[in-house]
Amino acid sequence: MLTFDNDSHAPTPGRRPGVAPRPARILVPPPNPFGAGAGMFTPEAGAVPFPGYRLVRLRGVGGFATVWETTDPTGDRVALKFMSSATTGSTARELRSLQQFQTLDHPGLLRMRQVWSVPGWIVIGMDLAEASLLDLLELYTEEFSRPIELEKIGQYLTAAAIALDFLNARTHRIDGRLAGLQHGDIKPNNILIRNDVALLADYGMATPTAGPYTPCPRHGTAEYCSPEVFQGTLTERSDQFSFAVTYHVLRTGAFPYPQPPAIGGGALKNYVRPDPDLSLLPPAERPLLARALAAIPQNRYPTCAELMAQLLSVHGMAARKNDDGTVTVGPATESVLLSRARLFR
């Protein structure tokens, strides 16, 4: 079954930042997939989904989920994400994916406080972030009419790359064996900013990988999916492809590929991506990103952090991983650089 999420708030292919800005977003929750049945909870401002939690305002909307700023029993502000769940099987699968992440400890992962299941919804309690990288892109495009600075992209995406490499590494014990975790939906929406630190979020599509190829449902956001995902397979470098598309979008405001075909009729199952159009990037970056977007997964970079290091290096810049886990970016000649082994750890 095809379960791709076409992101209605993603940049239009071929559009450059500052040209024909999009209209301001109006946040409207999607309808409950089960309708307004008896006893069905409806997320809305002032509602109380669980004792002590009160919804304050809508913070984000996707095709199958909404995120609400919420007060918790202590009075703190947290985020509650309501994910529609159409079947018992999908609910169980998504809960397993989320519970795997609750045991992980990394400064680049958005902390999940609690996971609940209620009729029609999976509800995730999370730390409240200020914005996503998509919000940042829209701010620069619509308010400043210019691209995001490379230093800022490098800071946020290097931190995200380190966290993604942590997930992807086959070092997590899952069901009694060591496995990696492919996030499955890397895109600017799912990299959040909290206290000026980039954090990976939205783990509902995560899949353990214990070998070179892992069968998987065809799910994710089609514009960012790697070629092998369209064929129903994950590799240990599938997230890197989505990460590279994310870099291109943040750097240029456009996708490197044309819009995939509309969902339906099995079109996405047989879809083959054309070669990427990287002409909006500086020439020095194009061969580097082309490698991360290689159709053959084994031809991509060993890690996402190495990709980011290469992209920064052609501009005479480098990333520094600080003792507190944060990342700063500056001229390579002035940075106190860590060894590659430490940066990529």
Model-level pTM? 0.84
The distance between the two most distant Cα atoms of the chain, rounded to a whole number of Å, is 65
What pLDDT, on the 0 to 100 scale, is given for residue 312?
Answer: 97
What pLDDT, on the 0 to 100 scale, is given for residue 91?
Answer: 64
What pLDDT, on the 0 to 100 scale, is given for residue 147?
Answer: 95
- Quickly list DSSP for 247-310: HHHHHHSS-SSPPPPPSSTTTTTT--------TTS-TTTHHHHHHHT-SSGGGS-S-HHHHHHH
The answer for 176, left when phi > 0, alpha when psi is -120 to 50, beta otherwise, is left
Q: Which residues pair with 83 in a beta bridge?
A: 65, 122
Of 128, 102, 106, give the one whose Cα is nearest residue 115.
Answer: 102
Rounded to an integer, what distance in angstroms lies between the CA atom of residue 228 and that of residue 184? Answer: 12
What pLDDT, on the 0 to 100 scale, is given for residue 137?
Answer: 97
What pLDDT, on the 0 to 100 scale, is given for residue 103?
Answer: 79
Give how far the C-alpha of residue 117 lies from the chain's centroid of Cα atoms, to the nearest Å.
23
What pLDDT, on the 0 to 100 scale, is given for residue 183?
Answer: 94
Per-10-residue mean pLDDT for the chain, 345 residues long? Answer: 44 39 42 52 91 94 85 95 71 70 87 83 91 96 95 97 96 89 94 96 86 81 92 94 98 94 64 94 98 97 97 95 86 56 45
What pLDDT, on the 0 to 100 scale, is given for residue 39?
Answer: 60
Handedness of CA 216, 276, 24, 141 (dihedral sign): positive
All structural domains of the chain? 19-126 (3.30.200.20), 131-343 (1.10.510.10)
What pLDDT, on the 0 to 100 scale, is given for residue 42?
Answer: 87
What pLDDT, on the 0 to 100 scale, is given for residue 62?
Answer: 72
Contact 108, 161 (CB under 8 A): no
